[in-house]
A = this chain, B = another copy of it.
Amino acid sequence: MVDAGIAFAAMNAVGLVAFAAAGALKGRAAGLDLFGIVVLGFLTALGGGTIRDLLVGRVPTSLQSNVEVLFAAFGIVLAVIVSIRLRDDPRETPALLLSDAVGLAAFAATGAAVGIETGLTLFGIVVVATLTGVGGGSLSDLLLVRVPAVLREDFYATPAVVGGIVAWVAARAGVDGGTTTLLAAGAVLTLRLGALRYDWRLPTL
């Protein structure tokens, strides 16, 4: 059986690469110069974790450790190379959508874990889990002066919300931290893949 810690680290790495690539491709599609493309890649990959750290009063890990930065840089380079070679936009390819779902799950789960550690309420845990998952993409939308896609388009943030609730329930039930994180990530991934496969949507009023 795969070690839980390694499984989770792998999911997080996949997410960093996918988020960074998606952000860089978004910047290119918006006609930004190379600097803007790199900024959007890093912001999309590292923005959620940075919001998480600021909310709980920590100096952002993205500014203190090179591990996440290197994965994000790899995603940006990959996106730039693919962009130049293919001359079209791979943002809707299954590979990127799947990697993005893996990233959403890993990010929301780390957000929930940090919220639990900090002693937040259920509401606080859900907010931090959700912002860690969708914050990077939303910040990059705001920089491009767009309503964040999560507010408008699809069943993307809802899995992160559910992941936060799952983590809170597990922690309350005395489940250990590692298992709690994996349960939350599993819930997010399942719901997100279901939403992609079956085109789930929330109602409007």
Q: Which A residues are within 8 Å of any B CB, using their own CB?
A: 27-28, 30-37, 39-40, 54-60, 62-66, 69, 80, 83-84, 115, 118-124, 127-128, 142-148, 150-152, 157-158, 161, 201-205
Contact = CB atoms under 8 A, between A and B. Distances in A.
A33 B151 CA distance: 7
A80 to B, nearest CB: 6
B143 A63 contact: no
Q: Which 4 A-B pairs have the closest CB atoms?
A: A63-B124, A36-B151, A33-B202, A69-B123
A146 B34 CA distance: 19
Given A39-B151, A59-B56, A151-B39, A64 B120 contact: yes
Contacts of A123: 62-63, 66, 69
A140 to B, nearest CB: 10
Given A35-B158, A63-B124, A63-B128, 10 more contacts: A32-B152, A33-B152, A33-B202, A34-B204, A37-B205, A63-B120, A66-B123, A83-B205, A142-B143, A144-B151
Contacts of A142: 142-143, 145
Contact of A147 (B145, B147, B151): B145
**Residue from A119, A121, A127, A203 having most chain B Cβ neighbours under 10 A:** A127
Contacts of A66: 121-123
Given A69-B123, A143-B147, A34 B80 contact: no
A15 to B, nearest CB: 18
Nearest to A69: B123
Contacts of A64: 119-121, 124
A27 B148 CA distance: 13
26 contacts: A31-B152, A32-B204, A33-B204, A34-B205, A35-B150, A35-B157, A35-B158, A35-B202, A36-B152, A37-B205, A39-B157, A54-B55, A55-B59, A59-B118, A60-B124, A63-B118, A63-B123, A65-B121, A66-B121, A66-B123, A69-B121, A80-B205, A84-B205, A142-B143, A143-B147, A145-B145
